[in-house]
Amino acid sequence: MVNYRYLGRSGLKITELTLGNWITAGGQVAQDAAIDTVHAALDAGITSFDTADVYMNGAAESVLGKALDGQRRESVEIFTKVYFPTGPKGPNDTGLSRKHILTSIDGSLTRLGTDYVDLYQAHRYDHETPLEETFQAFADVVRAGKALYIGVSEWTAEQLTAGHALAQQLGIQLISNQPQYSALWRVIEGKVIPASQELGISQIVWSPLAQGVLTGKYLPGAAVPEGSRATDEKGGGKQFISRFLTDEVLSAVQGLVPIAADQGVTLSQLGLAWVLHNDNIAAALIGASRPEQVVENVKASDVVLDDDAKEAIDAVLAGAATTDSALTEEVSPTTRLV
Chain centre distance of CA 270: 18
Q: Please say whether the beta carbons of 41 and 19 come within 8 A.
A: yes
Task: Quote the CA–CA distance of 9 and 169 in Å, as a whole number.
Answer: 16
Task: Quote the CA–CA distance of 177 and 122 in Å, as a whole number.
Answer: 9
Q: Please say whether the beta carbons of 41 and 290 come within 8 A.
A: no
Is residue 294 helix, strand or coil?
helix
Task: Quote the CA–CA distance of 138 and 140 in Å, as a whole number.
Answer: 5
Neighbour tally for 326: CB within 10 Å: 10
Orientation angle between helical segments 157-170 and 192-199, nearest 10 degrees? 20
The residues annotated as belonging to the active site are 55
The pairing of strands 13-15 and 4-6 is antiparallel
Q: Please say whether the beta carbons of 88 and 59 come within 8 A.
A: no
Task: Quote the CA–CA distance of 95 and 125 in Å, as a whole number.
Answer: 8
Cβ neighbors of 194 (< 8 A, separation 6 or more) are 157
The amino acid sitting at 76 is V
Is residue 147 helix, strand or coil?
strand
Q: Which residues pair with 18 in a beta bridge?
A: 285
Task: Quote the CA–CA distance of 249 and 245 in Å, as a whole number.
Answer: 7
Q: Please say whether the beta carbons of 109 and 78 come within 8 A.
A: no
